[in-house]
Amino acid sequence: MSARWFRTIKVLIVAGMAASVLHFADNAFAIEHYPEPGWITPFGVVASWCVVTAVALVAVTRKRADGPFLATTAIYILVLLSGLLHYAFGPPMHMALRSHVTVLAEALTGFALAGALLGSSISGRRGGDQATLRSDI
């Protein structure tokens, strides 16, 4: 993975963290507007955000595109995309516009991050820029 791809992926992880805090905060404070299983509580939403943010922090603080970086990035992609599961638990019309925006922003960031990770893999296999894997971001 080139240094450029590595930096791009880290920037997208940080963007995902920003989208995630907006979505999880909205979900915790306006849980009645989100279709989801009945066992999910505001405390559970906040606690789960802390856990998934820790995963993102592991990825974003890595100095190399090594196994832990790739694993935590892949897990974080799944987390960002999992917000779409709200649509599996009830009709979208029950959600506030603000809720749709936060869910979709998080999911779009997840798709962009998945695309960047895939793009870096394809670029590396084609013999793309093999610059250092270290980054100061």
**pLDDT tens, position by position, 70-128:** 999 999 999 999 999 888 887 878 888 999 999 999 999 999 999 998 888 776 655 54
- Per the CB < 8 A criterion, the answer to whether 136 and 62 are in contact is no
The per-residue pLDDT for range 36-86, each reduced to its tens digit, is 778 889 999 999 999 999 999 999 999 988 889 999 999 999 999 999 988
Q: Which two tokens stand for residue 101?
A: 């925006």
Q: Please tell me which of 25-29, 31-35, 129-133 the model is most confident about, judged by mean pLDDT.
A: 25-29
Distances from the Cα of 45 to the Cαs of 32, 40, 80, 89, in angstroms? 13, 7, 14, 16
Segments making up each domain of the chain, as ranges:
3-125
pLDDT at residue 131 greater than cutoff 80: no
- Spatial separation of the C-alpha atoms in residues 65 and 121, rounded to whole Å: 11
- Give the pLDDT band of residue 135 (cuts 50, 70, 90): very low
